[in-house]
């Protein structure tokens, strides 16, 4: 019984700390409310960031990475810019874009051929990505010719 009591005490101290951080302007009230709502709703993280073996051991170009995602079947679990999840994250980024994704450039590999880079006379395929910078979510793109390393994971649905 004292173990449960200790956890209640811990919970109330954490809540007091979170409340103070919100009042001091150090935490976004909408983000905290969204996280609490997900606990109430019993939601689990439905997405994960995937790195290919080649990315983890130094990097690979985008063409090889796209080939790996396609051959392994991971491409079917990838997201695109047209995903409803991405639209929701872009509409309410500070509330719903996962905190753990904010340290990486998150790539959206599905339908990559629809994304084309036009720079001067060159036309090169690109992969779109989401970047968290200056406390907002930004869309960018990277040419498939570029190197993709350990800080450039693909957003995929979690296997159930």
Q: pTM to 2 decimals? A: 0.68
| Residue 62 C-alpha from the chain's centroid | 19
- Cα separation, 78 vs 73, in Å, equals 9
**Residue 4 pLDDT exceeds 90:** no
Residue 88 host element (H or E): helix 84-91
The pLDDT tens digits for 137-154 are 999 999 888 999 999 999
Task: List, in order, residues 6 or more apart from 56 with CB less than 8 Å away.
Answer: 150
Is residue 105 a contact partner of residue 140, using CB atoms and an 8 Å limit? yes
CB-based contact 54:64 (threshold 8 Å): yes
Q: Under DSSP, is residue 51 helix (H, G, I), strand (E, B) or coil? A: coil
Assess contact for 139 and 132: CB atoms under 8 A.
no
* DSSP character at residue 78: B
Dihedral (Cα; 77, 78, 79, 80), 10-degree rounding? -130
Supply the DSSP symbol for 81.
T
Contacts of 46 (CB under 8 A, 6+ apart): 157, 158
Q: pLDDT tens digit string along 20-76? A: 989 999 877 876 776 676 666 655 567 889 999 999 898 999 999 999 999 999 999
Domain boundaries, the chain: 1-43, 45-157
pLDDT at 107 over 90: yes
């Amino acid at each position: 019984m004292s173990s449960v009591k200790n956890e209640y005490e811990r919970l109330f101290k954490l809540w007091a700390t979170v409340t103070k951080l919100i009042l001091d302007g150090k935490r976004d009230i909408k983000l905290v409310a969204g996280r609490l709502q997900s606990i109430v709703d019993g939601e689990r993280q439905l997405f994960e960031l995937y790195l290919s073996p080649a990315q983890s051991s130094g990097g690979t170009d985008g063409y090889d990475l796209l080939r790996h995602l396609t051959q392994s079947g991971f491409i079917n679990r990838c997201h695109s810019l047209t995903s409803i999840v991405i639209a929701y994250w872009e509409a309410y980024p500070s509330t719903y874009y996962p905190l753990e994704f904010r340290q990486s450039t998150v790539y959206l590999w599905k339908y990559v051929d629809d994304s084309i880079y036009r720079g001067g006379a060159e036309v090169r395929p690109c992969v779109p990505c989401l970047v968290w910078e200056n406390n907002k979510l930004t869309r960018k793109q990277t040419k498939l010719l570029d190197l993709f390393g350990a800080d450039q994971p693909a957003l995929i649905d979690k296997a159930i």
